[in-house]
């Protein structure tokens, strides 16, 4: 039975004192046995946390005591095993890094569409549908007909947009008018910022999926869905499907790409060491390190204890994604 409640949350809001919020939020999370990562910046809050149901409820209630978070929305799902192993509250310059100064969803943003409105919008053949997520996320699932920019991080999206405009790609103007654009992401934060960016470039008709893919999968019945595949999530579940049930994918513990049963049947797959995505990209030093890590994990399993290294790659993936997409120093 699922026993860990997972809450994904974000809110763009001016937080002039965001640094002062770090310590008390961390203390409340730890007191309630809640783990995960929360990012704080001048522009707001972003992150995913998990723990006992009452612990999550307590943390959310604490956050909403601040008038600026009074209407903070979150998305819930359940995990059968603990998705995170530590609690971090980090200070950043952006809660999702696009690296374009002046992009502010609080003052300029696209039009929100509910999942039902989203389905209707995508019936329009003139709509340019853009998946704003990273390539490894798109690889396991996306909306039918969506364009994959094939970006490694969210910061690369503005360059992709510029290339499409310059090279007469999918975003090229026709008869002097920019196309109608619909954008989506996992939980809503990346498409809020990307639609703000598109509006600043002069795109008049820009739409995004309110609540992101997670809200869509939670509320839209399978028979009415135009989603194809699974949705990557940044915790140990790896992916979720319709109804936000846990998916059937695992994670390569070296490159942190999601892997299928077909991948595991490949001669290029070595548990904990490599997969078809990374087998030819690892250095000799990495191979030695990953082989030793896998050996220690197997020994720990035989002893019936958890080896911390088993969770490190996914935790690194969480931090990498949230920090690359949520700070200028290196973001679901």
Digitized pLDDT (tens) for each residue of the chain, 332 residues in all: 468 999 999 999 999 999 999 999 999 999 999 999 999 999 999 999 999 999 999 999 999 999 999 999 898 888 888 888 899 999 999 999 899 988 989 889 999 999 999 999 999 999 999 999 999 999 999 999 999 999 999 999 999 999 999 888 999 998 889 999 999 999 999 999 999 999 999 999 999 999 999 999 999 999 999 999 999 988 778 899 999 898 889 888 888 789 888 999 999 999 989 999 899 998 999 999 999 988 888 887 788 765 555 444 443 444 444 434 433 322 33
* Whole-angstrom distance, CA of residue 148 vs CA of residue 157: 11
CATH code linked to domain 111-228: 3.40.250.10
* Whole-angstrom distance, CA of residue 186 vs CA of residue 67: 26
Domain ranges of the chain: 4-95, 111-228, 250-310
CATH architecture, domain 4-95: 2-Layer Sandwich (3.30)
Answer yes or no: 185 catalytic.
Answer: yes
Question: What's the pLDDT tens digit per position in 143-182?
Answer: 999 999 999 999 999 999 999 998 889 999 988 899 999 9
The pLDDT score that the predictor gives to residue 303 is 80
* Whole-angstrom distance, CA of residue 82 vs CA of residue 233: 14
Pairing of strands 35-41, 87-91: parallel
- Percent of the chain whose pLDDT exceeds 70: 91
Which of 29, 185, 231, 255 is catalytic? The answer is 185
Same CATH topology for 4-95 and 111-228? no
Contact criterion met (CB below 8 Å) for 74 and 9: yes
């Amino acid at each position: 039975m699922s026993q860990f409640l997972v809450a994904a949350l974000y809110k763009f809001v001016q937080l002039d004192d965001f640094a002062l919020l770090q310590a008390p939020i961390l203390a409340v999370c730890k007191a309630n046995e809640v783990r995960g990562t929360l990012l704080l910046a001048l522009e707001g809050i972003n992150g995913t946390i998990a723990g006992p149901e009452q612990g999550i409820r307590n943390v959310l209630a604490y956050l909403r005591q601040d008038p600026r978070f009074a209407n903070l929305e979150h998305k819930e799902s359940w995990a059968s095993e603990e998705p995170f192993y530590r609690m971090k509250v980090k200070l950043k310059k952006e809660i999702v890094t696009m690296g374009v100064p002046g992009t502010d969803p609080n003052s300029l943003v696209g039009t929100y569409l509910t999942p039902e409105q989203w389905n209707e919008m995508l019936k329009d053949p003139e709509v340019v549908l853009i998946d704003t997520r990273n390539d490894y996320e798109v690889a396991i699932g996306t909306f039918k007909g969506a364009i994959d920019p094939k970006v490694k991080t969210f910061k690369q999206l503005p360059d992709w947009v510029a290339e499409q405009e310059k090279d007469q790609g999918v975003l090229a103007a026709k008869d002097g008018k920019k196309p109608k654009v619909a954008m989506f992401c996992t939980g809503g934060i990346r498409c809020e910022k990307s639609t703000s960016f598109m509006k600043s470039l002069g795109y008049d008709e820009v739409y995004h999926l309110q609540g992101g893919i997670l809200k869509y999968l939670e509320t839209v019945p399978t028979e009415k869905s135009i989603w194809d595949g699974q949705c990557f999530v940044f915790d140990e579940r790896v992916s979720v499907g319709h109804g936000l049930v846990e998916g059937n994918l695992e994670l390569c513990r070296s490159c942190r790409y999601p892997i299928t049963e077909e991948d595991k049947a490949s001669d290029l797959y070595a548990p904990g060491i490599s997969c078809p995505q990374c087998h030819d990209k690892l250095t000799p030093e990495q191979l030695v390190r990953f082989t030793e890590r896998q050996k220690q994990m197997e020994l720990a399993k035989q002893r019936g204890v958890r080896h911390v290294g088993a969770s490190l790659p996914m935790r690194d993936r969480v931090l990498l994604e949230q920090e690359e997409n949520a700070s200028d120093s290196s973001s679901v």
